[in-house]
Chains A and B, each alone.
Chain A
Amino acid sequence: MKQKDIEQIIHDDHTGMSLIVKTVARMMIAVIILFAFYIILYGHLTPGGGFAGGVILAIAYTLMMLAFSRKMALHKFSDFWASFWDNIGMLAFIILGFLGLNSGYFLYNFIWHGKPFHLVSAGIIPLANIAIGVKVGACLYAIFIGLSIYGRLIIKEEE
């Protein structure tokens, strides 16, 4: 998709929702993604963590799909890459578990723990949170793509 097409989707009233929704969504999506990263990165200090942050991350892309159009969302983050990052997140978590074997136990917290209540602390827990966040975000988005594209196919067939 070229820059011109993107411009057209943004300003066209016929694809996606109305101009008001599009304008608000365009401002909000970046903030939502930022918030998701905050929840993921501070998961070991505050309530939240990989799963909650990942859900928020997925919601940002789902909002993009709802407000603009399926075409736009798939251009930014296609189903192939969603599935790819889903697998990468899970792979990273399992490899983290296997690295612990080096220090004696599966999933052992082998990194220096640091001072409590600082961002760099708690050993592998922030890393595990990042892996889970990536996995959950990509996975939920992939589920949404799967259900919406497949549902659209059924409706088309019916018509």
Chain B
Amino acid sequence: MASVMLPLSVGIPLLSAVLILLIGKAWRNAGALFAPITTLITLVFAIDLLGADAGTYWMGGWPPPFGIVLVLDSVSKVLLLVVNMVAFLASVYAVSYMQKYTAQNKFYALFILMLAGMNGVVLTGDLFNLYVFLEIASIASYALVGFGVEHEELEAGFKYLVLGTIASTMLLVGIAIVYNLTGSVNMADVARFVSGMPPNKALLFALAMFLFGFGLKAGLVPFHAWLPDAHPSAPAPVSAMLSGVLIKAIGVYPLIRITYSVFGAPNIILNLILWLGVISAVVGVFLALGQYDIKRLMAYHSVSQMGYVAIGIGLGTPLGIAAALFHMFNHALFKSLLFLSAGSLESATGTRDLRQMGGLKKKMPITSLATATGSLSIAGVPPFNGFFSKLLIIIAAIMAKQYVAAGVAAFVSLLTLASFTKVMKYSLLGKLNEKYERLKESPVLMAIVLTILSVLCLGVGLFYNYFMDSIFNPAANDLLNQAKYISMVIGG
């Protein structure tokens, strides 16, 4: 019996979203007060749960497989921490950044709803419940992408909406097939049934549906068309949330959970994920090289970095999965840092075009330092966190005798470095454009958030050994141990 914090991680954001809308009718700044407080509470829960024992929570007191069950194991802990940490920092950043927008309360309500959906996806142990929470998070994100209601935002939002709906429908088809075959939607119950069954074409078809649906939400390459439009169009805190955690919490995490814990990692699907990852890594970085829109460039790099994660997952070795989870954690940190600093640059200069920036190093020292830290982290320069996770993925690929994947990962890393050298050269170095003579450093709250994220990037890199041993290796071992998951949910 796990602690009551599990349902509260979902319930408190839901309650807060309603309260923001209700109180927001009378008081304009309700959202700016409630959103950071809510995310702080869930962050405290997530940190507290890191030390808690693995366990399940029965919603409404109904035991599994009859009722909905929330499951906390070492993988959920990692994701819960990442989601709530980035959400807290992004919401603090939003307090300062969103001043210029109207209808702020609706923004905060959607933001918090998206958080509730992601926490639900990460915690749930029930396939259909996962679909419901995934839809809550997705619909909130569809609305947030179009929040600016200008031409580009609306077009990107509609594209995302159409493709996201197809993905969700395919997921529902997959769930229906699984339910038809096993008579249960509880993940552990399905896993128990599947593990005692000979190879089955219908189950593989369902798994392919899941791969399509979650692959689209994660932005892996054949399904990535919406991502470079949708992620840059949203306001900066939302871009950070979408690229930093949403594609992981509703894309990669359910894919890992269903492939490993439920279906016991059939080889054919693992190979598919591995090669999807290789293609994503290469295509994403090549498309990013030619971009001059700073946020669009970063969105293409999200595709490429998700490719790394997919390579790690597809290897199927403990080291590969641990490295993939570690890279997911790091990517959440540095990609949200990059998007938030890009938001600062954009709101200061009024443009997203790299060619019109330049020499901002002198005018905005903190933001420039943050951009540089994020760029070095994503490019994999040694003391920063990106280096270690990429290195571990490459080592894991070599140990699993996937030399092509290892070579591609190393090659893509070089191209990423080249691409971010371009970002730094165009935006921070060089001659200052005359019209930016009166530029000021970004507001205090935004600068504080950027500093915290930069310090985290460096700190995780320096103490990577500690993080790997205490968090990511146990998580990888838990994922590979399907029997333990089943006995924990059904037996406990």
Contact = CB atoms under 8 A, between A and B. Distances in A.
Interface of A: 80, 83-84, 87-88, 90-91, 94-95, 97-98, 100-101, 104-109
Interface residues of B, number: 16
B15 A91 contact: yes
Nearest to A101: B4
B136 to A, nearest CB: 12
A106 B14 CA distance: 13
A83 B103 CA distance: 14
B269 interface: no
Q: Which of B7, B18, B21, B57 has the most CB of A within 10 A?
A: B18
Interface in B145-162: none
Given A104-B61, A106-B60, A87 B14 contact: no
26 contacts: A80-B25, A83-B21, A83-B25, A84-B22, A87-B18, A87-B21, A90-B14, A91-B15, A91-B22, A94-B15, A94-B18, A97-B7, A97-B11, A98-B11, A101-B4, A101-B7, A105-B59, A105-B61, A106-B7, A106-B8, A106-B11, A107-B7, A108-B60, A108-B61, A109-B60, A109-B61
B60 A107 contact: yes
Contacts, number: 46
Q: Main secondary structure on chain A at its contact with chain B?
A: helix
B130 to A, nearest CB: 17
B286 interface: no
B22 A88 contact: yes
A106 B7 CA distance: 7
Contact of A91 (B4, B18, B60): B18
Interface string B77-116: 0000000000000000000000000000000000000000
B19 interface: yes
Contact of B58 (A88, A91, A105): A105
Nearest to A98: B11
Given A91-B15, A94-B15, A106 B21 contact: no
Contacts of B22: 84, 87-88, 91
A109 to B, nearest CB: 7
Contacts of B18: 87, 90-91, 94
A105 B21 CA distance: 27
Interface in B44-70: 57-61
Nearest to A106: B7
A132 B19 CA distance: 17
A98 B15 contact: yes
A142 to B, nearest CB: 11
B15 A106 contact: no
Nearest to A94: B15
Nearest to B25: A84
B25 A106 contact: no
